[in-house]
């Protein structure tokens, strides 16, 4: 295929391979992307490189490439998971923050023997409080 035929195929007719190209663009894997374009269209190196640049221009941002957005979301979720508290007993993240009201009621009922006033979280999984 010449450049125009390859361009039309990539931008208008491509199927599941298009998702693979979007993923390669998101991961900035230029050589693999150019090879895939050459395999899909049988175009020459120069046309494949130009098509890759055209694809990057069109789909190289998180607004235009769902794989970039999903990678950002996955990274943010990974950071959240490392920062979120876990139960020291069972490692569950199914936690509830102990409210000020609950602490006050516990202290009013049990005085200095109340146990909740120095605790912050309650594990909904095993019931441990710390």
Contact present, 89 and 126 (Cβ < 8 Å): yes
Structure tokens, 4: 């125009």
Q: 41: closest CA among 86, 74, 8, 87?
A: 8
Summarize the confidence of residues 3-21 as an average pLDDT.
Answer: 76
Q: For the chain, first and last CA: distance in Å? A: 67
- Pick 66 or 119 by higher pLDDT: 119
Predicted TM-score (pTM) of this structure: 0.50
pLDDT single digits (tens) 80-126: 555 568 888 998 888 888 888 888 888 888 888 888 878 888 999 99
Length of the chain, in residues: 130
pLDDT higher than 70, residue 9: yes
């Amino acid at each position: 295929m010449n450049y125009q035929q390859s361009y039309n195929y990539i931008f208008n007719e491509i199927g599941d391979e298009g998702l693979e190209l979007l993923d390669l663009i998101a991961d900035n894997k230029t050589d693999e992307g150019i090879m895939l374009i050459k395999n899909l269209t049988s175009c020459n190196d120069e046309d494949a490189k130009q098509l890759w640049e055209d694809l990057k221009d069109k789909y190289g941002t998180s607004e235009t490439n769902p794989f970039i957005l999903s990678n950002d979301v996955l990274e943010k979720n990974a950071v959240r998971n490392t920062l979120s508290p876990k139960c020291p007993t069972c490692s569950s993240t199914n936690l509830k923050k102990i409210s000020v009201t609950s602490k006050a009621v516990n202290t009013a009922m049990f005085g200095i023997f109340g146990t909740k006033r120095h605790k912050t979280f309650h594990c909904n999984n095993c019931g441990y409080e710390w």
